[in-house]
A and B are shown apart, each in its own frame.
Chain A
Amino acid sequence: MEILMSITVGVLFMVGTYLILTKSLLRVILGLMLLSHGAHLLLLTMSGLKRGAPPLLGEEAPFYADPLPQALILTAIVISFGVTAFLLVLAYRTYKEHKTDDLDKLRGTGDE
């Protein structure tokens, strides 16, 4: 299972990287979202995917899934959500100001 998940994570990273290398701003943001998905899944995979009960003591099971990575991922999801939302609005403002979302045209500074 972990092997399969590692490959899945690799695919997510591959596609994410491909997207952030493109010219469209929106695609870059989509790429970043896929990269964060990949990172979250990797966190979960690396803690081991052995079957156990959900980390709820009420289950009274002999084994539980590891709760610590889940807490970490929860934090990471929220943070990446905040950042992505901000980036989206930033991209929106960029469209409004520059009438383009082509990163090739959004280069350089006024001083050049």
Chain B
Amino acid sequence: MTALHWATISPFLLAILVPFLYKYLRNIHTGWFVLALPVFLFIYFIQFLPVTSNGDVVKHTVPWVPSLGINFTVYVDGLSLLFLLLITGIGSLVVLYSIYYLSKKTESLNNFYVYLLMFMGAMLGVVISDNLIVLYVFWELTSLASSLLISYWFHREKSIYGAQKSMLITVFGGFAMLGGFSLLYVMTNTFSIRGIIEQAAIIANDPLILPAMLLILLGAFTKSAQFPFHIWLPDAMEAPTPVSAYLHSATMVKAGIYLVARLTPAFGGLPEWFWIVSAFGIFTLLWGSVSAVRQKDLKSILAFSTISQLGLIMSLLGLGSAALYYGTGTEAALYYSAATLAAVFHLINHATFKGGLFMAVGIIDHETGTRDIRKLGGLMAIMPITFTISLIGLAAMAGLPPLNGFLSKEMFFTGILRASELDIFNMQTWGLLFPVIGWIASVFTFVYCTIMFFKTFTGKFQPEKLDVKHVHEAPIGMLISPIILVSLVVIFGFFPNILSYTIIEPAMAAILPGLLDEGQRFYVNIYHWHGFNTELLMTIGVIGVGIFIYLTAKKWMQLNIYLKERDPLNYFYDQSLVGLIKGSTSVTQIQMTGLLRDYFAYMITFTVLLLGYTFVRYDVFAIDTTNVAVISPYMWILTLVFIAATLAVPFINHRITAIIIVGVIGFLLALFFAVFRAPDLVLTQLLVETVMVVLLLLAFYHLPELRKEKFTPRFNGVNLIISVAVGIFITVTAFSAFALSTSNGIEPISLYFVENSYTLAAGKNMVNVILVDFRGLDTLLEVLVLGIAALGVVTLIKLRMTGREDV
């Protein structure tokens, strides 16, 4: 265990302590104790910056299940470090924010911080693991922690609904992902991501690569809320706002992005990967931005905006993967890698401004008691700091200069414009769609940002619609975290190049390895002014059309589609869930009738069908008359009487007659035993049958009066068919088995008993010698069976549970 391993699991260790801190130090908000850890981890991880910016990596392995190739391997390169810093950095700010957001008097803070730390540890584990199975374990832990956090206010029905939905969707994807990982293992014989990437050229030609890719992408898309799996994210907004800010904007939803980026070296360069990732991403971008315009709740706007921005990053990763198609050192590869650069840069930017915006919305909610834009308005003068924070965040999100969102939006346009020039993967025909869709989505992004801004902060203040009496600015402690985040937005906006070679370039090198010649670096230089080009025109167009749409808002806000807030895909989710429950209930009700007769019928029918199939399939029916014993004339009579008596049983209408006939059958069986030279069997059978008949009569005698009626069993055709089939198959099996036993020529072992009964066991009755000497254990246990039966009988008759129903 190295320090990195301890750092990864340290949140879990602290989570164990949290309940004690909460219980024994009630006067201090538990969040203060928690805050120290992410801050410390952030500082610790910053120390790796020089290492990764030199292009080096850190790798340590601790064996976990070495026999299965599962090791807890930590691996820090540019991409991991970027995420580690995001998780711990924003984690610190979120914990600080939550200290002021959640009251220590009314909230169960122990639960909150245990879940949050569990999430943080799991997320660190996801991005630091080199081993796919370990990654999967942490991945599922993030799903679990996320659901726990969404249902933090578990007395609310909507929270439970949201938690269940996110759990079902993300665990479904996670499970598919495990399947994909297993396929990767089948192909490469290793769980190490590094080992798989080394074999990328080999697996590219493997027939399993497509299923593996699809399954892994299913995991990534469900986690990162890509269309059509994005529906869980808006419902996850029932979580406390610090959770929304942390999980559902900055970290967890980027786990899928991380996975796609991490596995790009293994799959990148394949047309399927390129198309699936880019197409789903660009469509999610459009869908999310259009849906966000329709929302009336601030957090819902931000949720759909997150979906949209994640789609943007995802599509850029897909487009950037085309660079791997061209291979090492080629000009084309470096040219098309612009999309990846944009993806990494926007990933950072999105985390900063979206985190800040969520916190600002949380403040508004906290101070006014509502998040509904129809009730809010005119907060500019009342909450000036929150207003400034939101202005910067929204402007960055809309892509206005000079903030970082503007830069990444320009780079996004550059990336998709370059990708549309690709002459591979059919991009000649479809390539132009990407800039067009991207541009339309940017317009909608601009529109929902303006709506959010103007509806909240301008217009008339309407205190009568709010529950809170005195609306005022939030306490300073709550404002620290969003102020830091929007400061970063501004800093990265004005000085983007402080990130270039420290974080972005190493992350790019991790996503697109092998593109560069020895000693070469990606050229990362981000600047505001890059001349009059298409990108600039597109941005101007976005702003112009966006303003026009906002100014005509009165007209289109009357449209019916604007009033529908819920995503239409929810309908399919809800209906399929209901259908699943209904369907399985009805399937169960069809077969689980509760009638003993039906279950017997299933079992017998299945057995007979299986047996019949085997007979036909292997053609094993045989009949052999060469070796059979001769039939004496009186045996004919005996057998016919026996059969007649047996056949008569179902037709008898009197119970007493039935019992007597069954007795007769038993005694005839004893007679058979006599004929077939089995004196001990005769004795036993006679005795047992006598006792049996007596018992049957006793049971009959004790029938309650009302059941003493005569009965005629309902003639049931199905029963008849089943029982005739059973009879035939038993007979046929007996024929075939007997024919087999005579044809295979194996001598029975009975000669041993004949020879040795007297010499070894000093008994002349061979059956008895077998029972008590050669195979005495059987007899011992059989005695035990009788004893248990006797005890059971006594218990049944004697024991009466009084005072409650016992049967």
Q: Which residues of A contact B (CB under 8 A)?
A: 1-24, 26-30, 33-34, 37-38, 40-42, 44-58, 64-68, 70-71, 73-75, 77-79, 81-86, 88-101, 103-104, 106-108, 110, 112
The 7 closest A-B pairs by CB, nearest first: A14-B727, A10-B731, A82-B789, A107-B594, A6-B734, A67-B766, A18-B723
With contacts A4-B631, A11-B646, A88-B699 known, what are 9 further pairs, Cβ within 8 A?
A11-B727, A18-B720, A53-B677, A74-B680, A82-B786, A82-B788, A83-B789, A85-B789, A104-B595
Q: A10-B730, A15-B649, A18-B719 are in contact. Are A27 and B662 (CB under 8 A)?
A: no
The reply on B614 being an interface residue by CB < 8 A is: no
Chain A residues within an 8 Å CB radius of B758: 57
A45 to B628 Cα, complex, angstroms: 10
Cross-chain contact of A21 among B691, B702, B707, B716 (Cβ < 8 A): B716
A58 to B673 Cα, complex, angstroms: 19
Cross-chain contact of A10 among B593, B698, B727, B767 (Cβ < 8 A): B727
The reply on B65 being an interface residue by CB < 8 A is: no
Q: Determine whether the beta carbon of B649 is less than 8 Å from that of A4.
A: no
Tell me, rounded to whole Å, the shortest Cβ–Cβ distance linking B795 to chain A: 9
* A94 (CB) vs chain B CBs: closest residue: B807
The reply on B696 being an interface residue by CB < 8 A is: yes
Q: A77-B685, A89-B797 are in contact. Are A56 and B765 (CB under 8 A)?
A: yes
Interface locus among B8-16, B291-299, B745-753: B745-753
A57 to B758 Cα, complex, angstroms: 8
Cross-chain contact of B770 among A19, A67, A84 (Cβ < 8 A): A67
Q: A15-B649, A17-B727, A55-B677 are in contact. Are A92 and B699 (CB under 8 A)?
A: yes
The reply on B388 being an interface residue by CB < 8 A is: no
Q: A9-B731, A23-B714, A27-B658 are in contact. Are A70 and B681 (CB under 8 A)?
A: yes
Cross-chain contact of A85 among B594, B681, B753, B793 (Cβ < 8 A): B793
A48 to B643 Cα, complex, angstroms: 20
Q: A15-B647, A19-B650, A24-B713 are in contact. Are A74 and B793 (CB under 8 A)?
A: no
Q: Determine whether the beta carbon of B719 is less than 8 Å from that of A46.
A: no
Q: Determine whether the beta carbon of B649 is less than 8 Å from that of A45.
A: no
Q: Determine whether the beta carbon of B704 is less than 8 Å from that of A99.
A: yes
* B797 (CB) vs chain A CBs: closest residue: A89
The reply on B62 being an interface residue by CB < 8 A is: no
Interface locus among B264-272, B484-492, B549-557, B664-672: B664-672
Chain B residues within an 8 Å CB radius of A30: 649, 658-659, 662, 696
Q: Determine whether the beta carbon of B665 is less than 8 Å from that of A34.
A: yes
Q: Which residues of B contact A (CB under 8 A)?
A: 593-597, 600-601, 604, 623, 625, 627-631, 635-636, 639, 642-643, 646-647, 649-650, 655, 658-659, 662, 665-666, 669, 672-673, 676-681, 684-685, 688, 691-692, 695-696, 698-700, 702-704, 706-707, 711, 713-714, 716, 719-720, 722-724, 726-728, 730-731, 734-735, 737-738, 741, 748-750, 753-754, 757-758, 764-767, 770-771, 775, 778-779, 782, 785-786, 788-790, 792-793, 796-797, 805, 807
Chain B residues within an 8 Å CB radius of A45: 734, 738
Q: Determine whether the beta carbon of A103 is less than 8 Å from that of B672.
A: no
Cross-chain contact of A14 among B681, B724, B749 (Cβ < 8 A): B724
A and B contact pairs by CB, cutoff 8 A, 18 listed: A4-B635, A6-B738, A15-B647, A17-B604, A21-B597, A22-B714, A23-B597, A23-B714, A41-B669, A44-B681, A47-B748, A50-B629, A54-B677, A55-B677, A55-B767, A70-B678, A70-B767, A89-B792
Tell me, rounded to whole Å, the shortest Cβ–Cβ distance linking A84 to chain B: 7
Q: Determine whether the beta carbon of A79 is less than 8 Å from that of B650.
A: no
Chain A residues within an 8 Å CB radius of B724: 14
Chain A residues within an 8 Å CB radius of B597: 21-23, 103-104
A33 to B658 Cα, complex, angstroms: 12
Chain A residues within an 8 Å CB radius of B797: 89, 93
Q: Determine whether the beta carbon of A81 is less than 8 Å from that of B793.
A: no
A18 to B797 Cα, complex, angstroms: 30
Q: Determine whether the beta carbon of B738 is less than 8 Å from that of A15.
A: no
B-side binding surface: helix, strand, loop or mixed?
helix
Q: Determine whether the beta carbon of A100 is less than 8 Å from that of B707.
A: yes
Chain B residues within an 8 Å CB radius of A83: 785, 789
Q: Determine whether the beta carbon of A68 is less than 8 Å from that of B754.
A: no
Chain A residues within an 8 Å CB radius of B643: 7-8, 11
A-side binding surface: helix, strand, loop or mixed?
helix
* B679 (CB) vs chain A CBs: closest residue: A54
Cross-chain contact of B684 among A12, A27, A52, A78 (Cβ < 8 A): A78
* A22 (CB) vs chain B CBs: closest residue: B713
* B758 (CB) vs chain A CBs: closest residue: A57
Cross-chain contact of A3 among B596, B628, B646 (Cβ < 8 A): B628
Chain B residues within an 8 Å CB radius of A73: 678, 681
A29 to B758 Cα, complex, angstroms: 41
Chain A residues within an 8 Å CB radius of B796: 86, 89-90, 92-93
A11 to B702 Cα, complex, angstroms: 31
Tell me, rounded to whole Å, the shortest Cβ–Cβ distance linking A2 to chain B: 5
* B648 (CB) vs chain A CBs: closest residue: A15
A5 to B688 Cα, complex, angstroms: 22
Q: Determine whether the beta carbon of A51 is less than 8 Å from that of B669.
A: no
Q: A1-B635, A56-B764, A77-B685 are in contact. Are A49 and B629 (CB under 8 A)?
A: yes
Q: Which of B679, B731, B764, B785 has the most chain A CB atoms inside 10 A of its CB?
A: B731
Chain B residues within an 8 Å CB radius of A26: 655, 658, 696, 699-700
Chain A residues within an 8 Å CB radius of B688: 77-78, 81
Q: Determine whether the beta carbon of A71 is less than 8 Å from that of B785.
A: no
Q: A2-B629, A11-B727, A18-B719 are in contact. Are A37 and B669 (CB under 8 A)?
A: yes
A83 to B636 Cα, complex, angstroms: 32
Cross-chain contact of A55 among B604, B727, B765, B775 (Cβ < 8 A): B765
Q: Determine whether the beta carbon of A74 is less than 8 Å from that of B662.
A: no
Chain A residues within an 8 Å CB radius of B684: 74, 77-78
Cross-chain contact of A46 among B627, B636, B741, B770 (Cβ < 8 A): B741
Q: Determine whether the beta carbon of A17 is less than 8 Å from that of B703.
A: no
Cross-chain contact of A108 among B594, B726, B731, B786 (Cβ < 8 A): B594
* A64 (CB) vs chain B CBs: closest residue: B754
Q: Determine whether the beta carbon of A75 is less than 8 Å from that of B723.
A: no
A10 to B680 Cα, complex, angstroms: 25
Tell me, rounded to whole Å, the shortest Cβ–Cβ distance linking B664 to chain A: 12
Q: Determine whether the beta carbon of A44 is less than 8 Å from that of B676.
A: yes
Q: Determine whether the beta carbon of A70 is less than 8 Å from that of B727.
A: no
A90 to B649 Cα, complex, angstroms: 22
A97 to B688 Cα, complex, angstroms: 28
Chain B residues within an 8 Å CB radius of A2: 628-629, 734, 738
Chain B residues within an 8 Å CB radius of A6: 730-731, 734-735, 738
Tell me, rounded to whole Å, the shortest Cβ–Cβ distance linking B670 to chain A: 10
Q: A2-B628, A22-B597, A57-B764 are in contact. Are A99 and B706 (CB under 8 A)?
A: yes
Q: Determine whether the beta carbon of B662 is less than 8 Å from that of A33.
A: yes
A82 to B782 Cα, complex, angstroms: 9
Chain B residues within an 8 Å CB radius of A64: 750, 754, 766
Chain A residues within an 8 Å CB radius of B750: 64, 66-68
A24 to B659 Cα, complex, angstroms: 13
